[in-house]
Amino acid sequence: MVMDIKNETKVTMFEFSGLTNDKELVPFLFMFVFLVYLVTLVGNMGIIAIVFVFSSLHTPMYYFLSSLSLVDIFYSSVITPNMLSQIPSLKKSISFLGCAAQCYFFCALGCTEVILLSSMSYDRYVAICHPLHYTLIMTKKKCFGLVLYSSSISFLQSIVQTSCVFSLPFCGSNLIDHFYCDIPPLIRLSCSDNLHCDMVTGGLVAAFGIYTLTTIFISYALIFRSIFRMTSTKSRQKAFSTCSSHIICVSVFVTAIFFVYLRPHSGGFDKQDKVASVFYTAVSPMLNPLIYSLRNQEVKRVLAQALQKHF
């Protein structure tokens, strides 16, 4: 059996099925994805710039927000430019090494974002439940350590997932039923037993998902208990305002990921899977800075101040 696999023609190039085969949708899809990517870059770069420039935003909360924006820029750039080049093209292809690199950075940056969001929930817990000790607990060293931990563990686990998938033999069809190199459709292309890779991928996604959701749920259970004990309506509204942006960002990102990765699949990727994938690869990185900008009074005040000074 091993000799048969070795004698097969090995895959050196992958092709994508893409988002759609409907030619009438191509111009709309291209403009939609292009505008989403443009807003993602401008919005996230804008968040990083105002946090860097304005000293009033040199706090742990905005340090995490600017780190999230930086991750979003790279995370979106791993998939979206290649997706844009594919949409009008008849042949949607990528080299074997290019596919491995895209898969690696996508998994690493996606996981970094998830863990970073859980670190932000811990920051909100300390700010609301222990306001007098906030600066003592959330030091610059601790904030940097949490961001470093988020990226380090994510890039390490991505090595495990990517090496597991690309160590499998690909000797049959090279058509990936998706618009980027994602692990589930790649595993289905393998011409050998892929149960162990399915288990590794599912186990890691479940482990990081449980860790993230547990951290967030515990943090917000303690936060809401503290908020309901507040006597001042103004303090309660301010606390809800700072938490609501984070809750929305987490809900959008995690729901889309869980929909694609942790539900049973019949065979190929359905249209709803691809729509969900577009949401967490392209739309979610765009929404994060918009949600924080529109719902955060401090960010709105600083933006208004910057525009007023400029014009």
Beta strands in 171-246 (DSSP E): 175-176
pLDDT band at 265 (very low <50, low <70, confident <90, very high): low
For the cut 80, the answer to whether the pLDDT of residue 273 exceeds it is: no
> Is the pTM value of this prediction over 0.85?
yes
Interatomic CA distance for residues 38 and 108, integer angstroms? 23
Bridge partners for 15 per DSSP:
93, 175
For the domain made up of 2-310, give the CATH fold.
Rhopdopsin 7-helix transmembrane proteins (1.20.1070)
Least confident window among 118-132, 170-184, 236-250, 288-302: 288-302
Give the model confidence (pLDDT) of 102-126 as tens digits.
999 999 999 999 999 999 999 999 9
In the chain, what is the straight-line distance between the N-terminal and C-terminal CA atoms, in Å? Answer: 72
Give the model confidence (pLDDT) of 189-201 as tens digits.
888 777 788 888 8
CA 195-278-45 angle, to 5 degrees, is 120
What pLDDT score was predicted for residue 256? 75
For the cut 60, the answer to whether the pLDDT of residue 267 exceeds it is: no
Instruction: 84-87: list long-range contacts, CB under 8 Å, 24+ apart.
Output: 84/30, 84/33, 84/34, 84/37, 86/16, 86/18, 86/179, 87/18, 87/19, 87/26, 87/29, 87/30, 87/33
What ranges do the domains of the chain cover?
2-310
- Please tell me whether residue 117 adopts helix, strand or coil conformation: helix
What pLDDT score was predicted for residue 78? 94
Residue 191 is classified by DSSP as S
